[in-house]
Structure 1
Amino acid sequence: MKKAVLTLVFLCVCVVSFAQSQPQVGDVLEVNAPKGEHYNHIDFPRLNILVKRGKLASYKPVINHKVLIDSVFTKENKTYVVLKKKDGTKFFGLQTTVEADYQKALESGELTIVNP
């Protein structure tokens, strides 16, 4: 009987933790600095494209900014999110939204979940 109860409790905990890891439209995330030279899991423009468009070759304008999840979709068993800035302005003055691989961006530290 103990084993059945413990198994049931364990399954409930697993289901609840899996449900919390799924992104929802309207969740708030924070953009962190990339580990290397550029972002690997967030689809920001490359630095050379920013220079060609007359902007500074730096990701500093988006670091530590809050973003909202605008939409969520799944492609090839990966969860992707479309992000937009919380204040409504454009990323680098060019793009209103960007795509990100949700799980990999969280694992690499490029995005963090902001607790409400």
Structure 2
Amino acid sequence: MKNKILLTLLASFFTGMIFAQNVDSTVNVGDVLTIGEVENNDYQHINFPRANFIIKNGGLPNYSYVKGEKVEITSVKEKNGSLIATIKLTSRKSFFNSHKYITVDIEKALEGKELVRI
């Protein structure tokens, strides 16, 4: 009786693990995404530069300009078990008029709705 309960518990555990995996998390170079709107401009998974670096490069640190902008993935690398992507604006402009490329933890940004698939 104990063996049947243990076997059933293990089978349900492994079945749950298989179905819990997210199949749609694959991203490729060239995919186009949109920057989502986050409360209080608190982007945690998109590595926007700090305001002092934006100002030093002649830009304006205003997040309302990047909300809703379409971005293209230019490269994807794996670092410490997570996918780090480099993105650029599809309009060929710079982020905050100072930075051409930004890095992002792509899986966490998609989960947190910081980046949205089109």
When normalised by structure 2's length, the TM-score is 0.73
The equivalent of 1:81 in structure 2 is: 85
**Structure 2: which 5+ runs fail to align?**
1-14
Of the candidates 47, 68, 71, which is equivalent to residue 67 of structure 1? 71
Number of paired residues? 103
RMSD: 2.5
Amino acid in structure 2 at the alignment position of 1:95: H
**8 Å Cα contact 2:34-2:116 kept in structure 1:** yes
CA distance in 1, matches of 2:60, 2:43: 16
Of the candidates 44, 49, 67, which is equivalent to residue 45 of structure 1? 49
Q: CA deviation at 1:85?
A: 0.5
Q: How does 1:1-116 map to 2 (within 5 A)?
A: 18=23, 20-114=24-118
Look up the SS of the partner of 1:60 in the other structure: helix
Q: Larger Rg: 1 or 2? A: 2
Q: CA deviation at 1:57?
A: 3.8
**8 Å Cα contact 1:47-1:58 kept in structure 2:** no
**8 Å Cα contact 1:38-1:46 kept in structure 2:** no
Runs (4+) off by over 6 Å:
none
CA distance in 2, matches of 1:48, 1:34: 21
**Structure 1: which 5+ runs fail to align?**
1-9
Q: CA separation of 1:96/1:55 partners in 2, compared to 1, >3 Å: closer, same or farther?
A: closer
Look up the SS of the partner of 1:79 in the other structure: strand
Identity, in percent, stands at 34
Moved more, 84-93 or 54-63: 54-63
